[in-house]
Structure 1
Amino acid sequence: MELLSNCRDHAHKFYGDLLLAAEKTINDVLFEQAERCTNNKEQQRYFEAMQQLKERSGAMHTAFRHELGKSFQAFISGHEEEQTVEEEIDIGKLSLVQRDELEDELAISIIVSKANSRNSETLWKLNKRMAATRGGKSVTDESNPFGPHRICEALQVGVGELLLDNKVRIIFYKQLGKIFVISFAKELDALNGILVEKGILPNLRFSVIKSQQAEPSAPVASAEEGDSEQRPDDTEGLVESQGSITHQQDLYNSIRALQSAVGNRSQTAGGVSFGKVQTNGRDGEDSFSSMDYALALSAIQQSKAFLSAAALNRPLKAEKVEENFIDQLSKQGDKNSRHKMTRGDADTVDLVGMIFRYMLDDTNLHDAVKLMLSHLHTPYLKLALMDKTFLDNYQHSARVLLNTMAEVGGKWVKKDNERNVLPKIKTVVENILTSFVDDPTIFDRLLEDFSRFKENIEKRSRMVEKRNTESQQGLEKLELSRQQAANEIETRLDDDEILEGAVDLLRQPWTDFLAFNLLRHGQDSLTWESALKVVDGVIWSIKPSAATDNKDDFKRHQSDLEVSVAEGLTTIGYDPEASKGLLNSLKEAQELAYHHSVIDAVNKPAPAEAAGATAAPQTPKEKTGKVETKKALKTAPPVLSPEEQTVVEKLKDIAFGTWFEFDREKTSQQLKLAWFSRVSSHYMFVDHSGVKQAVETQYDLAKGMCAGNIRIAEPTKKSFMERALEAVFDKLKLTA
């Protein structure tokens, strides 16, 4: 009991101090979020959260400590077991789970899952040792009062003391997860050390028994020294879908099975000879240790030739890495010391080499990205030989970082001189090369930083796409407004009495006038009705029948109308400078109409002449000196084949965000459908940066798709590592 109390005091102090340190980090993150906000309302959200954290910090820590104490007391009393399903369900208390509560539970479960996965061996040993302190009664990950499960439950209770909205709470859990996940290892190791000092299972070994189907089974304990330490297969993979996890796990197991079927190897899969380094070691004193590998690869990684190749962006072939590695191991080992490589380590060298060879052939990556990432072969080989879980741990930060850089590079880098993503990837690669010696936590920091970078460029892309979409929508509205305005003008000008010259003077400026009002106020507004009345008055004033023979009367009539039209333009808020242009065009049309009426009066036939003969019928142009002016504003749709018509119908229901591939002038470009108009049937496409690249009509799009020049693309959803493992497996099958 005293021993467990000592463990309690140590653990509660550690986790309490950790929460206190996390509080400062969270406060800084909230401040950064507030600075990034684009509006006051959103910014106020984060400032209020910071105030809550300041005012209720004490309540949060008290609730956290209280929950830790409850958990420990339940463990001591033996009442920590989970309820059965029947005990959990109370029919009288059944209700729908609140969305906020569900998201809290999900966030906590992710933290617990990550922590358990990373510390499976250490936690398993602690469970066994704690069970031994109470007569062998089983201790599980869930019942261990010092394990991630109970600690995270206490965190949830503590955070619950803060009155935070859902969005801010998720930020809290995200930051707590980053801090606690990487800190559990230290405390679990310390607790194991306390128990070992007191003689509790000091020789405990961790192993896993697998069936013939390679299914992982429960680990077993042994107080005797085993042949080797192993870890269970990691199947968490929260970053990727469960189907992808299962697929990759099967691939990894199959790859290892194919590798184990190979006889004694004398060279790597890339054809590099192992030379003096034997590959039949059995974890004995004559076999290289993880530290030996780390020293050898660090020497290569820090060499002037290696660093200069990375700085000068020269490609690094996998064979060169393997050659240097084996040469360095040969120098370190001799017959009187460690000089053999285990079969598993040789397989790891091969697997990492094949992954980086695949990278150079991956069609999803631009050559500039491949070149930079190829320099990670050495540090990633070091990591794989030091951390046996790296290659099959789907949530390992180094693996997620490589996947993320490959994803961002494949998505954003399309040319050698890309000025945003490439420099960032280069910075990350250089940091790994110069800073990774034997502490893998560097990958946690770099992943966090690169994830923020990714988030920022995606946010910027969404903003650019939004602006381009709004701009296209504005152009669409303008075009529709101009079309409707033109129809209104043409309908009024379709009058035999209106002169052709007057029509030309009025068509463009007064169409613009109506379009402006329609776009700003809409066709159901009183302003639009007033604008139409202004145009009606203008149209009437340019008819010869409205003119008078008396020049003074005409001038007076013209002046009165000008005042009336000017007042109308002011009433509807039309631009004063633009109004002057409209009035000038009106004067010219009226002058033309007046002169035409005078000419008609002079040329008017005498009554006798009019009665004496029947004039030949005249066309409208012969009668009035005018031509038909109405425009065909809408052209007839093109004739489509049945296949093209079928595609048109499908395009009507296409979803925004669908990617298309355009083949033009011997180049291929993938563009995303950002917006389309159901009125004009225009489709707007943007690139990955959100910049508008094309606007296609529905008919042209259908024709291009039927011709094979345009097609719906299916961007790969598989991560780089998944694609690499598939390629490695296919290659091994051919050589098996």
Structure 2
Amino acid sequence: MQRQDNIISFGDSATRKRQISLDAKGRKIVDACRKHVVRTLPQLMSGLFEKLDDAMYELADKSGNDSVQTTYFDAMRELRKERARIDRVFSREVLQKFDRFWETGEAPVNQRTFAELSRDSEMSLLGEDELEDSLAITNMISKSENRYSRELYALGQRFVQLTGDTDEVSEQHNPLAPGVICNAFQEAMRNVEVDLPVKLVIYKLFDKQVMHYIGGLYDELNLVLGKAGIIPKLTPQVRRNPVSPAVSRARREAQADGRAGEDADERSDLQTEVFETLQQLLNLRRGVAPAAGSAVPGRMPIGAGGVPISVPLVETVELLSALSTLQQSNTVMVPLNNEGEGNLRTRLASDLRMLEEGRTHRALGEADNDTIDVISMLFEFILDDHSLPDAMKALLSRLQIPMLKVAIIDKAFFSKKVHPARRLLNNLAQAAIGWNDDGDRSPGGLFGTVESMVKRVLTDFDDDPSIFTVLNDEFNEWWEREQRGADVAEQRTNQVTRGKEQLRAAKAAVTDELNKRLQFQKQLPDAVISLLRDGWKDVLLLNYLRQGPESEEWKESLEIVDKLLWSVAPKKEYAERQELLRNIPELLRNLRERLNAISFDQHKMARLFKELQNCHIACLRGKSLSAGVDTVTDLHISFPDSQLINQSSLLVDDLEPETVAVAIHDKFTEQAESLEIGAWLALFDGEEKKRVKLSWKSDVTDVFVFVNRKGVKALELTVDGLAMHLRDGSAEVLDVTNAPIMDRALGAMLDALKHTGTAAG
């Protein structure tokens, strides 16, 4: 008899790993996909950590006791300390799975189902904390797999074709499946010392900030593979999923950095091109040379025939040292009368001993002279910008010498839009637009923060521009917190205003519908009018606000009004009286139910129903209501506050109604009507000037709501009211654009130089 071997070999039945061999084209495609992953994952994690601090702080602020508060603050510190490690482990885990897949075709995920978790919990194989942790991850994975099923299917099919496998790649074996992403984050969080409730909050934020936007990565990879010819018609070549704000911001910054792939020589040419153009235009602008013998501080003296006289030049290093001394002394400002360049040149001529006995002894080089001219003109344009408050202009003007030093050291300052010094100046100026000089100069306010940044530049900047990057990052972090608070306040303001607007519209609709039905009635029982005025109009109002004018509840409530009015009309015919008799119970029941829903006074309802009963008895007997029933002829129904005030202003409080009732349609009316959300106004009240932003405009009543920089409601005007302010000069629309102030100043300066240069030519 043949011997049977009772030993089972698991190795024979297990799936044997195979080696995947990609050709050159395949390796190039995989490499392109990997670069997308390497670039996107840190950006998504950056968005997560941006929210974690705020979340921990809010939870600590809302906590009921000191112990819980301490827990959240400790977690905040722990996450800050562990951030770099979490980022590193998370990216490493994902990329290891991705790379292993292109070697073996496998990327196994240790994902247990809900049923397995329940079984392990019942068998005490899992602790309570471990169960909660695993449940949170499993739930996140399941939700993401359902959300991105289409994208994952397309990605899997394309990976199958690349690997040359005959089997489909399941979601669990996709190297970028939600299970891989979530398990990688779980592994990165394994040694972070935070309590379970805190960790669950972190998982929830990871779901919102990473998994909610991971679909954008799937879209990108499908686009890359499709364009490379890997099943190009599998899915439409469009983005379906939202892109993380952190990813969008990183892309904008990368685009703004210009052509990153160009060599150093090309970048150098680009950086000097703008400055050389400015130099040429300055020479054209100067036109005729100064008279012979004239001495302009810092410039070459001019001899007979307009020929410059050769004198020793001041070295650039010496000039920078003199500027640093002026910067530290902080005495040279650009006054608002645009005489700053003369003061600066006079001080430099004195400190560098360029003049002796009224004659030029030394002079600045041509490039240094032109740089001083360009920076001086730039700050003149900045100081002429009407969108900036005067106090903020005075602060920003103190940055002239530091910016001059930066421009002398690095000519890329004029051409590189993302130069750290330019970015700081741009961001400070942009933040200053909505500032109102209300006397608040505290360190924590906008003015105090800008002042602090300016002082730190003046005291800390010597020749290393990295200080601008540090300060810009600090200011942006502070400004983002300010903006978040302002956005929340503005949203609340708009919600309140929108609620009032909806209430006005609802009241108008209710009164319109009721009065439309009452206008054909000569007289009605007092009980009916009391029911409509005191109770039923509120029933209708509630229906309109909750369900809307298209709802069945609204329509049925109006039908009950029609039936009520018909029920108290005289009935001459027997058939009508019989119909009334059949409908009275249902009518009373509908009235009672809806009045009870608004908590109508029960005693009053009983009295009115009793009077209504008398009216019905009279109608059933075919009698006129004038006999034995109190009737009224004033049948108009209204809400006391249903009329929209035509003019509402914080600046003009004593206007007579007649002065605002007359509507004038002119260019100011058209300007008011075309004003867009986000536009800024300057409002003048005597010597006081306030800046407000248009936050919301009604499509129903033409009401405009303006808020201040902090998102608090500052003003409410109608279109006619705003036009009146524009007409009499008490309001002015500020020319505010999203273009950075340095870009606008350079553009304006180039236009001016071209114009004057052409005239000189």
Q: TM-score range by the shorter chain?
A: 0.5 to 0.7
Report whether the alignment pairs 1:402 with 2:429. Answer: no
Report whether the alignment pairs 1:444 with 2:469. Answer: yes
Superposed CA RMSD in Å reads 6.4
Tell me the residue number matched to 1:629.
Answer: 635
Q: Once the 2 structures are TM-superposed, how far is the Cα of residue 514 of structure 1 from its aligned partner?
A: 2.1
Q: Aligned letter for 1:234?
A: Q
Report whether the alignment pairs 1:234 with 2:271. Answer: yes
Of 323-332 and 174-183, more deviation after overlay is shown by 174-183
Report whether the alignment pairs 1:258 with 2:285. Answer: yes
Q: Aligned letter for 1:720?
A: I
Of 318-327 and 360-369, more deviation after overlay is shown by 318-327
Q: Which runs of 5+ in 1 are unaligned?
A: 1-18, 41-45, 64-155, 190-205, 207-217, 220-230, 237-244, 546-557, 601-609, 611-619
Matched positions, count: 514
Counterpart Cα distance in 2 of 1:723 and 1:182:
22
Of 654-663 and 393-402, more deviation after overlay is shown by 654-663
Secondary structure at 2:600 match in 1 = helix
Counterpart Cα distance in 1 of 2:341 and 2:737:
25
The answer to whether the Cα contact below 8 Å between 2:256 and 2:417 also exists between their aligned partners in 1 is no
The answer to whether the Cα contact below 8 Å between 1:674 and 1:686 also exists between their aligned partners in 2 is yes
Please list, as runs of the form range in 1=range in 2, the aligned pairs for 1:252-651 lying within 5 A after superposition: 253-258=280-285, 262=289, 287-303=313-329, 319-330=342-353, 340-413=363-436, 415-417=438-440, 420-490=445-515, 495-499=521-525, 503=529, 507-529=533-555, 531-532=557-558, 567-570=593-596, 572=597, 574=598, 578-580=599-601, 583-587=602-606, 589=608, 626-630=632-636, 644=665
Of 380-389 and 712-721, more deviation after overlay is shown by 712-721
Structure possessing the higher relative contact order (Cα contacts under 8 Å, 6 or more residues apart): 2
**Alpha-carbon displacement from aligned partner over 1:92-117 (angstroms, at most 9, x marks no partner):** xxxxxxxxxxxxxxxxxxxxxxxxxx
Tell me the residue number matched to 2:21.
Answer: none
Secondary structure at 2:324 match in 1 = helix
Counterpart Cα distance in 1 of 2:716 and 2:46:
44
The answer to whether the Cα contact below 8 Å between 1:372 and 1:426 also exists between their aligned partners in 2 is yes
Distance 1:58 1:288, change over 3 A: farther
The answer to whether the Cα contact below 8 Å between 1:293 and 1:382 also exists between their aligned partners in 2 is no
**Alpha-carbon displacement from aligned partner over 1:383-412 (angstroms, at most 9, x marks no partner):** 222223334444422123223322322344
Q: Once the 2 structures are TM-superposed, how far is the Cα of residue 475 of structure 1 from its aligned partner?
A: 1.7
Secondary structure at 2:433 match in 1 = helix
**Alpha-carbon displacement from aligned partner over 1:561-601 (angstroms, at most 9, x marks no partner):** 9997554445x5x3xxx433xx3443565688899999x9x
The answer to whether the Cα contact below 8 Å between 1:407 and 1:719 also exists between their aligned partners in 2 is yes
Tell me the residue number matched to 1:170.
Answer: 247
Q: Aligned letter for 1:404?
A: N
Counterpart Cα distance in 2 of 1:265 and 1:415:
53
Tell me the residue number matched to 2:49.
Answer: 31
TM score, norm. by length of structure 2 = 0.51
Q: Aligned letter for 1:579?
A: F
The answer to whether the Cα contact below 8 Å between 1:293 and 1:386 also exists between their aligned partners in 2 is no
Tell me the residue number matched to 2:173.
Answer: none
Distance 1:256 1:466, change over 3 A: farther
Q: Aligned letter for 1:167?
A: S
Distance 1:450 1:281, change over 3 A: farther
The answer to whether the Cα contact below 8 Å between 1:318 and 1:353 also exists between their aligned partners in 2 is yes
Counterpart Cα distance in 2 of 1:425 and 1:522:
49
Secondary structure at 1:330 match in 2 = coil
Counterpart Cα distance in 2 of 1:323 and 1:61:
66
Distance 1:651 1:259, change over 3 A: closer
Of 455-464 and 474-483, more deviation after overlay is shown by 455-464
Counterpart Cα distance in 1 of 2:281 and 2:667:
45
Counterpart Cα distance in 1 of 2:509 and 2:386:
49
**Alpha-carbon displacement from aligned partner over 1:656-697 (angstroms, at most 9, x marks no partner):** 437475877567777655444444444444455544444444
Counterpart Cα distance in 2 of 1:365 and 1:306:
23
Q: Once the 2 structures are TM-superposed, how far is the Cα of residue 436 of structure 1 from its aligned partner?
A: 0.9
Q: Once the 2 structures are TM-superposed, how far is the Cα of residue 505 of structure 1 from its aligned partner?
A: 7.5
Of 381-390 and 423-432, more deviation after overlay is shown by 381-390
Tell me the residue number matched to 2:139.
Answer: none
Secondary structure at 1:232 match in 2 = helix
Counterpart Cα distance in 2 of 1:352 and 1:533:
75
Distance 1:61 1:258, change over 3 A: farther
The answer to whether the Cα contact below 8 Å between 1:436 and 1:442 also exists between their aligned partners in 2 is yes
Q: 2:91 aligns with which of 30, 53, 62?
A: 53
How high is the sequence identity, in percent, across the aligned residues?
21
**Alpha-carbon displacement from aligned partner over 1:218-260 (angstroms, at most 9, x marks no partner):** 89xxxxxxxxxxx535389xxxxxxxx8xx9855641254359
Q: Aligned letter for 2:605?
A: L
Distance 1:417 1:31, change over 3 A: same
Counterpart Cα distance in 1 of 2:331 and 2:99:
49
Counterpart Cα distance in 1 of 2:513 and 2:350:
85
